[in-house]
Chain A
């Protein structure tokens, strides 16, 4: 006869093992992307699944042949500015919506969500 604690442990193990399914679904594309980024062209376009050798040539190319630094800078600028503007506008509105009673205030919130969607 199993004790209650053992039962609980088995249940936890079952939970973790089941969680590995969504975990694999989520993580595999990342794993594959990373692995491919270190594989040589020869391995990528062959029957092999596990690459023969690893290379960092793709990363060298990234810095040598593409304006990666500029693009990265652009991304940072867009992200920072968008965050600042968004925070400024939405903290003011959020304060007003939560602090004061408005008519249709829920609808206004939905309008905000909707306008930012997709």
Chain B
């Protein structure tokens, strides 16, 4: 038997280790995506297995549908504001957390809590707190005198705000978890040097901190952006996309069409449209990354 050279052996072994991962990704990520893209070109509905290819008709329907464009707008409003608030809140909190003081450890532990609860728990608590009649938020604001009477936090004007609030609450600890190590990795001498040179607090932030955490900041913005763009559970459980579609973002719109209008094809087309937007954003991410 011919001896396999050691490099080749190692090469094969390195791929052998990756096989389980590839299988898993193929089964739970790739297959559904490919299947959804195929379905988006068909008129498949929920009750029959009959399936005809109808070309781009689904996409044309979407293009002409006002609801679709409204949900696209909602998606960008939701993902944009969630990402912005999470990054800002996470960064400010992290800047405070890297200071040395007693009890620092407990603050860090407590501040990661929202990331650990199940979504349904977070949603139920907030639904109860924001309840228009019995909610503590309305009562508290009336008692302090900010509001004259309770407002509906899930009515058409405020639903988006409430959804963003819960999402920021739940996910800004993720930013903290990435920012704190990045901030701690900045050499202390940099600050001392900046101080000696008479840099103000703002200058220290823009010239010392920002260049050091640029990479992490970028990763956080992109990852949070993608995840908020794909968010389904918080919105679905909190408002169900309502009222009158004010909080319907693309994943919710896709679900509504597939499982409430029973138009699997149309729902898949919506999902595919969202995927295309994400792929464009991701390719932008990779381009900047490679530089």
Contact = CB atoms under 8 A, between A and B. Distances in A.
A23 B110 CA distance: 7
A112 to B, nearest CB: 7
Interface in A37-72: 44-45, 47, 49
Contacts of A112: 21, 25
Contact of B17 (A22, A23, A30, A96): A96
B134 A45 contact: yes
Contacts of B230: 117-118
Interface string A86-118: 001110110111011010001110111111011
B227 A30 contact: no
B277 to A, nearest CB: 15
Interface of A: 11-12, 15-16, 18-19, 22-23, 25-27, 29-30, 32-33, 36, 44-45, 47, 49, 88-90, 92-93, 95-97, 99-100, 102, 106-108, 110-115, 117-118
Contact-residue bracket for chain B: 35 or more
Contacts of B105: none
A97 B92 CA distance: 34
A89 B99 CA distance: 38
Contacts of B121: 33
A23 B227 contact: no
B221 to A, nearest CB: 14
A34 B128 CA distance: 12
A92 to B, nearest CB: 4
Contact of B101 (A15, A100, A110): A15
Interface of B: 10-11, 13-15, 17-18, 20-21, 24-25, 28-29, 89, 92-93, 96-97, 99-101, 103, 107, 110-111, 113-114, 121-122, 125-126, 128-129, 134, 136, 139-140, 143, 169, 173, 223, 226-227, 230-232, 282, 286, 289
Nearest to A111: B25
Contacts of B24: 89, 115
26 contacts: A15-B96, A16-B103, A22-B92, A22-B93, A23-B107, A23-B111, A26-B111, A26-B113, A26-B173, A27-B113, A29-B122, A29-B169, A32-B129, A32-B136, A47-B139, A49-B140, A88-B20, A96-B13, A96-B15, A100-B10, A100-B13, A102-B14, A108-B18, A110-B286, A112-B21, A115-B25
